[in-house]
Amino acid sequence: MEARLRQALARAEEVARELADPETARNPAKLRQLGREHARLEQIRQTNARLARLQKELVEAREVLQDKDPELAQLARIDVERLRPEVERCERQLAALLAPADPMDDRDAIVEIRAGTGGDEAALFAAVLFRMYTRYCERKGWKVEVVSLSEGNLGGLKEAIFAARGPGAYGTLRYESGVHRVQRVPVTEAQGRIHTSAATVAVLPEAQEVDVKIEEKDLRIDVFRSSGPGGQSVNTTDSAVRVTHLPTNLVVQCQDQKSQLQNKIKALEILRARLLDRILAEQEAARARERRAQVGTGDRSAKIRTYNFPQNRVTDHRIHHTVHNLSNVVDGDLDELINALRLAGEKERLSA
């Protein structure tokens, strides 16, 4: 860990110099990338400085323990009891910050939510998940850009796609990929029986053009008239865009923007993210340890979490972690669940 700390502190100085370089200011992409790296390294620097201060205070308190004055010794004993757990907590935080990070973690995230089995109730649950994640993003201070919404009956959503833009968005949300199951009494159920339905969540790192090169000759672009609620220009012109990537047969469509050009740009953004996700999934297949743990792999084939409304319970099946505050969770309070998953992922990476 000492070697990683020295490297991180040295890199922090390099990044600070690069950010001060006028050339960097003329390169928005580089400026954004360095800004995120600086935020991560600054967190390491501050945590290390706090740890050093706490360790010094602990050493001084232990020295005073030997004092012949009983009152001073008693005060020092109180300080030692207070400082020891703080030092240990700070050491864990620093170790987590220094754990080998996925280079994609600092990227913005593309989040795709789709109703699964369960008909209208699944679409209603997809709407709940969409609200949960957008509220969580708001709590984190991230920007949410809705790319596409496909509405179902009773206010549900067949599909929702949005971009979460902010420091560490993908690294934080990546663990949400998978099948989310809900158990509750649907609004359409007259006899009060509990139904089980599901929705899938896919979290993709936003791809940059250097990650995935898309050739125009590999695309088929169709335009059509938007459907569903809309305002000026929407539903009245052929502004919706469907993009098909011929080599992979991946299809993306976008209709929520006002113009055909805006919809094309958004559709290509999602397509690029899906192609990058496919590349990463192929690389991930070789990492058997993480695949078995199903933490951080983006494996969407297995049920990862159950939301049980009658019992006010949310259970994450990958790490067998349960919380009994479902109402808070669906209101965007995901920190406990996500932090537990991140900790499990970090432990897995450190032991790999």
| Residue scoring higher pLDDT (91 or 229) | 91
DSSP letter for each residue of 225-269: ---SS--TTTTTSS-EEEEEETTTTEEEEE-SSSSHHHHHHHHHH
Q: Are residues 15 and 147 in the same domain?
A: no
Question: What's the number of domains the chain is made of?
Answer: 3
Say how far apart CA 137 and CA 160 lie, in whole Å: 15
Asked if residue 260 belongs to a domain, the reply is yes
Q: Are residues 113 and 195 in the same domain?
A: yes
Which residues form the domain of 220? 216-282
DSSP letter for each residue of 276-290: HHHHHHHHHTT-HHH
Mind listing the pLDDT tens digit for each residue in 181-208?
Answer: 999 988 766 677 888 999 999 999 888 7
Q: In CATH, what number is assigned to the domain containing residue 53?
A: 1.20.58
Average pLDDT, the chain: 84
Confidence at 246, pLDDT banded by 50, 70, 90: very high
Burial of 185 (0-12, 13-18, 19+ CB in 10 A): middle
Q: What is the mean pLDDT of residues 163-180?
A: 91
Q: Are residues 127 and 38 in the same domain?
A: no
Assign 211 to helix, strand or coil.
coil
Q: Taking 90 as the threshold, does the pLDDT of residue 141 lie above it? A: yes
Mind listing the pLDDT tens digit for each residue in 32-49?
Answer: 888 888 988 998 999 999
**Spatial CB neighbours of 264, under 8 Å, sequence gap ≥ 6:** 221, 241, 243, 254
Cα angle 305, 146, 323 (rounded to 5 degrees) comes to 20
Q: Are residues 322 and 263 in the same domain?
A: no
Q: Are residues 196 and 296 in the same domain?
A: yes
Q: Taking 90 as the threshold, does the pLDDT of residue 228 lie above it? A: no
Q: Are residues 143 and 74 in the same domain?
A: no
Q: Are residues 118 and 62 in the same domain?
A: no
Q: Which of 63, 79, 98 is the last residue of a domain?
A: 98
For position 105, what pLDDT does the model report?
A: 84
Asked if residue 329 belongs to a domain, the reply is yes
Q: Taking 70 as the threshold, does the pLDDT of residue 286 lie above it? A: no
Q: Which of 229, 248, 282 is the last residue of a domain?
A: 282
Q: Are residues 21 and 73 in the same domain?
A: yes
Q: Which of 98, 130, 147 is the last residue of a domain?
A: 98
CA 58 from centroid of its chain's CA atoms: 36
Largest CA distance in the chain: 87
Q: In CATH, what number is assigned to the domain containing residue 306?
A: 3.30.70.1660
Give φ, ψ of 168 to 5 degrees. Answer: 70, 20
pTM for this structure?
0.65
Q: Are residues 59 and 188 in the same domain?
A: no
Asked if residue 46 belongs to a domain, the reply is yes
- Looking at the chain, list the stretches that DSSP marks H as alpha helix, in order from N- to C-terminal side: 2-20, 22-25, 28-64, 70-98, 119-140, 169-173, 260-284, 288-293, 326-329, 335-351
CA atoms within 13 A on the CB side of 318: 31
Q: Taking 50 as the threshold, does the pLDDT of residue 319 lie above it? A: yes
Say how far apart CA 129 and CA 200 lie, in whole Å: 10
Q: Are residues 91 and 29 in the same domain?
A: yes
Give the range among 186-190, 219-223, 308-312, 336-340 with minimum mean pLDDT.
186-190
Asked if residue 211 belongs to a domain, the reply is no
Q: What is the mean pLDDT of residues 47-71?
A: 89
